[in-house]
A = this chain, B = another copy of it.
């Protein structure tokens, strides 16, 4: 496609497990508007899904997740915002797996798959995650 749209797409889903698939498919469709490879689209999909999953599992009391995608020719920025009683900033960390453990992979995956990741944590207001992926080609 000759022209790639800059544009903003906003999505709001209930903060429940069954709706994460909607966010995943929508973000894949948005990423598909850019020159991302299939692998890069999968990366964005997983990162956004992990962010939503964390909102659902950790943001107590928030009932909606707001996903805002800003597309430019060569990068996609995604904001994932919840309105739940969040965590302390120092809680959010990523770690490499040295021994098998069930939890703690989500933030690690987000940081691995995206080029820039920033958490904006307001323990009383909710968490705002901003992540950016650049088109490699």
Across the A-B interface, give the 6 residue pairs with the lowest CB-CB distance, nearest first: A26-B26, A25-B29, A7-B14, A10-B12, A22-B29, A5-B18
- Count the copies: 2
With CB as the reference atom, state the residue of chain B lying closest to A8: B14
What is the number of residues of chain A that contact chain B, defined by CB distance less than 8 Å?
Answer: 25
**Residues of chain B contacted by A29 (CB below 8 angstroms):** 21-22, 24-26
Q: Which residues of A are at the interface with B, using a C-beta cutoff of 8 A?
A: 1, 3-5, 7-14, 16, 18-19, 21-22, 24-26, 28-30, 32-33
Q: Is the CB of A14 within 8 A of B18?
A: no
**Residues of chain B contacted by A16 (CB below 8 angstroms):** 5, 7
A121 to chain B, nearest CB (A): 24
A104 to chain B, nearest CB (A): 27
